[in-house]
Each structure stands twice: as structure tokens, then as C-alpha cells.
A and B are shown apart, each in its own frame.
Chain A
Amino acid sequence: MKRWIAIVVIVLVAMAVPQVLNPSGYWMRVFTLTLLFAAMAQAWNLIGGLANQLSLGHAAFFGIGAYTSTILLLKFGISPWIGMFAAGALGGLAALVIAVPTMRLQGHYFALATLAFGEVARVIANVWTSLTGGPGGLSVPFVPPSFAAYSFKQLLPHAYIALVALIIVTVIFEVIRRGAMGYRLRAIRENAAAAEVIGIDTTKVKLQTAVISGVLTAMLGTLFAQVAVFFDPDTAFSAASISIRVALIAIIGGVGTAVGPILGAFFIVPIEELMNDLFSSGAAGLSQLIFGVILIVVILWRPRGLVTIFEALRARLQGRGAQS
């Protein structure tokens, strides 16, 4: 009960925040990006957290999503709302292609293989100029503003769309985590051989998870393209600013928990945006340097993520309550 009240309050606050921000201002942008990255980290959390397969290649799905909807809009005038589902289908397909040869790999090996896959996607996007426009990038064309065309005068609607997306992805995560699939994934994570013995088709479960994660990430790529308006292969398929960042957000927040990616995104994205803003003119690299230091500190101090701070706090409060 208490839990539900907390969730309702947080959602209401999140809905109220865009109302007090400048509808097309800087902070609206930061808020929207934070929600989008939280949703992406949550999608990563399915495969990275529940299945414990640490993917460093999610930029592949993200980039496919951004490119699919934008190319459909540019070449055929198809609304990104529909393009988003095409993006999801292709993202799922890509996840299947990547997962089949790599699913048996664990830990470091899986991370390395997915990193290479992300880079393959980036190289292909750079080279396949006739489809993607190559290194020059793509601009989302201007269409008269309307909801059906997914085109708005202000950033405000994008913030609400991002919020809805985050809620949907989080609900999917929780449903899977609590459902039969979550139990299977946990069994595989704890002991894959034992899971196999009690009749879990480990390969199938991991493949399903990877595909769901890929579909969601690609669809979020479409949302991102609509906010960013311009992107090129090196940003949309970036190992550092997409694949690694998404994984980091989930890990810093608390991997395998529904709260973790949201906490991580609200911690990292605003700090990063602020530092980029403060230092971009002064010294190149400083904001990323500080980002790296924060990352190292959090991993050494809270290897299971910031979410453990709250757990520790709650434990202390309850301990005190029991004493008094």
C-alpha cells in the first residue's frame, strides 16, 4: 500500500515538473533526455540486470531505431508513430542476430562481443551512404506540427511522451521480473547448469529477453531522433555515449532493480549536461573526466549502485523504529 502511494506521488511529481519548466527551454531538454535515458537504461536492465548479460552494444538497436523511423519519414512520409513499430521490429531482429551467436558467452566475453557488434553497426551505417546518408548524418524533416505527425512546436509534448515511455518500459520490466520469466532468468543467473537440469530452456529465455530489450531500445531510438532532430552514425551508434552510457546509468543506479535505472539517469544525465554546459567552452574533456571520476567513485563505494543508499537508510530507520 505504502509502496503504491509512493509510486503515485512520484508519477504525479514527474507530470507536474514540465508544467513549471520553460516549454522549450534548456531544463525541459535536460528533463526529456533524462527520462529517455532512464527508459533506455531500463530496457538494458532486462538483459543486463535480469539475465546478467552485460551488453555493451545497445547502440546498435538505438541507432537502428533512430534511422528506421527517420528514413521512413524522409523517403515515404510515414509518421514516426508508425515508423516506431517498424523500428521496434528491426531492433528485435537485430537483437536476434546478435544474440544467437553470443548468448552462450558470459561476463567479459559477452561484453566484448556486443561491443564489437555495436561497432559493426556503426561502420555499416557510415558506409551504406545511399540509405543512411553516410557520415554526413540525417536531419528529421520539418512537417507541420500535429500529434499524428509526431511534430511539435515545443519540447513540452516530448517530455510527456518520454515520461509515458519510461513508465511503459518500467512496467514491462517489473512484469517480467515478477513473472515466470523473471524466475527463470534468476535461476539462470544463479546457476545456468542447474536451471537447465530443472527443465528451463536457457537459450530460449535469454533470446526472448534480448529481443524484448532490442525492440524497446529501438523504439526509444525513434523517440530520441524526434527530440534530437539531427544525428549521424557516430552519435547514434556511439559506443561511448550510447552503449556504455546506458549500461553505466543502470549500474550506477542499481542493476537488476526497477528503481536503479531511473535513479541513475536522474543522477548522471543532469550532472553531465550541466558540466558540458559549464566547461564546454573552457576545457574540452573536463566534463567527461569528472564523469569518469564519479563513475569510479560510485563503483568502488557502492558496487551495487546508488539504490543501496536508500536500502541502507531504510534499514537504519526501521532499526531505530524497532528500538524505540
Chain B
Amino acid sequence: MSFIQAILDGLLVGGVYAVISIGLTLVYGVMGIVNFAQAEFLMIGMFVSWFAWAYLGLDPVLAAPLSFAVAFALGWVVQGQLISRVLKALSVAQIFLTVGLMIVLENGALLAFGSQFRSVTTPYQTMSLSLGSLFISVPYLIAFAMSLACGVALWWFMRTSWFGRAMRATAQNPMAAQLMGIDTALMYKLAFALGVGLTAFGGAVVLPYVTVFPQVGGQFVVLMFTVVVLGGLGSVAGAVVGGLAVGVIQALSALFFPIQLQNLVLFLVFIVVLAVRPQGLVGAS
């Protein structure tokens, strides 16, 4: 039974991983840039939500749109001022610009907020629903539901809106898109802002069960990369599958291995997938 329980928990947590990682894969899919600073936007989302909870009395999950908006605005500026300059540069410059951004954001947060751990208290924090002999943790369920709603909204946006189609066109062929009258620079800004906004949104919804501190991004960075590599870098559908898979892998390894080795299993899965199928499990070869 604990086996099924672990899979259930893993799927719920994995849904959030999916949304966090869709942001990363979206940026790569549209611009071909791996954003090593992506996890820092998760941290920013968590902080925005925490402050909204502490000072405005807002539930952290309801503050998620606010987290999204703050990260979106920040991402817009970062793309316009920094990333846009290395779009055609060597991959060395691309990788290390985002690494620099990661260092700046993490230490900026350390400077602004201090190194203490912050958490929220919510009335539903310890609640769970019973389903036969299974338990569904309410904070996990809420986070999952919010992620699902966010994912559906993104899907709808990308499929039906003009902006969504223009962005996909830019991803496929920037030159052709530009010739069709699409402002590709604007699309890149939109993609980056949307990507980091989604990750920040995920940061807010996990706040009821994850503690926030400036280095929290480090705990998620390999996890996010594992999700997108499992699904195939650049594939949004793949990120959903990858997110659920990583959630389940984590929950199951917690069942069989001591807590210190939990991440090790994830790293090994990551390396094996990279070595065997770098195009991802669902991606076409």
C-alpha cells in the first residue's frame, strides 16, 4: 500500500515539477538557451508569495498570480537587456551569462532578505483526505490543482492566441517568422518572461510545504534539468511527462533509500538519460 501511496504523492508533487520545468523548456524551445538561472526565479516566486502572506495576509497559493507577474516583469527586463545580447553568441557566453545571473539573483536575495529560513502557516497545512486506505495531502492536492490550471491556461494560450502562434512560429523558424511580420525580439521577451513567470508561479504554490531561503533554487536546479531532459529539452508535453516521472522517482526512492541518497538517484537517472537518449524519452530521435 505504501507503494501506491508513494506513487500518488509522487504524481501530485510531480505536477508542480512539470509547471516549474515548462518554464525552462519553453525558454530553450523558443530561443535555444539553457537558462541556468531558472531556479532562482522559483526562489523569487516563493519570496513574493511569502511577503504577500506575511504582510497582506494573502494565502500563498492565491498569491501565485502575483509571483507570476513579478517574475514576468523581471524576466522581460532580463531578456531585453541581457539575454538578447548573447542570442547569437557562442554557447560559452550563453551558459555563463545565465550562470552570472544565477549568482546575482541568489546573492541579491541573500543581501536583501538575509539567510534565515521562512515558512508559512496555512489552515490546511496538515490536512489530508482519505481515499480508502490512501491519504491525499491537501497542500499537495492544491499545488497540483493550481499547476494543472496553470498548465491548461498556457496550453490554451499557446494554441489559440495570436501571440502563442507567433511564438511557436518564432521557435520553428525565426527568419520566416520575421518575414511574416512577427516582431521576434518581442516574442523572445514574451517567451522568457512567460517561462520565468511559470517557474515563479510554481514557487508560490509549493510554499505551503517547502521552506524558502535564498539558496533554495540550488535544491531544484538539477531536478528541473532532469525533468526537461527526461521529456526532451524544448518539449512542453515532454516536461509534463518528465515532471510526473521525476515526482514518482523521488517518492519511490524515498521509500527504498535513506534520505541523503534521494537526490543521488535523481542525478543518476539524469546522467543515464543524457547518455542514452539526450533527445528525451518522448522526443523524436
Binding site for B on A (CB under 8 A): 54, 101-102, 104-105, 107-109, 111-113, 115-117, 119-120, 123-124, 126-127, 240, 244, 247-248, 251, 255, 283-286, 288-289, 291-293, 295-296, 299-300, 303
Contacts and interface: CB of A to CB of B under 8 A. Distances in A.
B108 A289 contact: yes
Interface stretch (B94-102, B120-128, B241-249): B94-102
A213 B158 CA distance: 45
B34 A113 contact: no
B275 A296 contact: no
Given A289-B103, A296-B104, 17 more contacts: A101-B275, A105-B274, A107-B95, A112-B229, A115-B225, A116-B225, A116-B274, A124-B264, A248-B96, A255-B92, A285-B110, A288-B107, A288-B110, A293-B104, A295-B103, A300-B85, A303-B90
Max chain A Cβ within 10 angstroms of own Cβ: one of B93, B97, B107, B115? B107
A35 B227 CA distance: 39
6 contacts: A112-B229, A112-B270, A116-B267, A123-B261, A126-B260, A299-B93
Contacts, number: 127
B145 to A, nearest CB: 31
A124 B264 CA distance: 8
A247 B103 CA distance: 14
A296 B278 contact: no
A248 B101 CA distance: 13
Given A247-B96, A248-B96, A289-B104, A120 B274 contact: no
Contacts of B110: 284-285, 288-289
A303 B34 contact: no
Max chain A Cβ within 10 angstroms of own Cβ: one of B85, B99, B115, B222? B99
Contact of B100 (A102, A104, A295): A295
Nearest to A107: B91
B152 interface: no
Interface of B: 34, 82, 85-86, 89-93, 95-97, 99-104, 106-111, 114-115, 214, 222, 225, 229, 233, 260-261, 263-264, 267-268, 270-272, 274-275, 278
Nearest to B37: A292
A105 B278 contact: yes
Contacts of A293: 100, 104
Contact of B270 (A116, A247, A286, A303): A116
A300 B97 contact: yes
A267 B282 CA distance: 45
Contact of B222 (A101, A119, A251): A119
A291 B108 CA distance: 11
A300 to B, nearest CB: 5
A300 B271 contact: no
A54 B260 contact: no
Contact of A112 (B34, B82, B89, B261): B34
